[in-house]
Amino acid sequence: MELTQQYFDEQIKKLASKEDLGEQTKELKAFAREQTEELARIISKSIVEPMEKEFAALEKKLDVKPRVEKLEKDMVAIKTALHLS
């Protein structure tokens, strides 16, 4: 096979141009951005929201301040009734 100018010209025509590559880059960036946003939505719905609900429920269970305040008042009432203080 003889390498000719015509052969090289044909091969060069098959290569992507700078414009082609620029357009592909834009498309890939847009696709990556869309996929990242979709992944963020999926994570938010499947992980973040359920965890926030669990933490809120746990925080409510662990909030013992009202119960302690009531016990303190009851203790004062008991001590007063028994004349301990």
Supply the pTM of this predicted model.
0.54
Does residue 85 surpass a pLDDT of 80? no
5: Cα separation from own chain's centroid: 56
Does residue 38 surpass a pLDDT of 70? yes
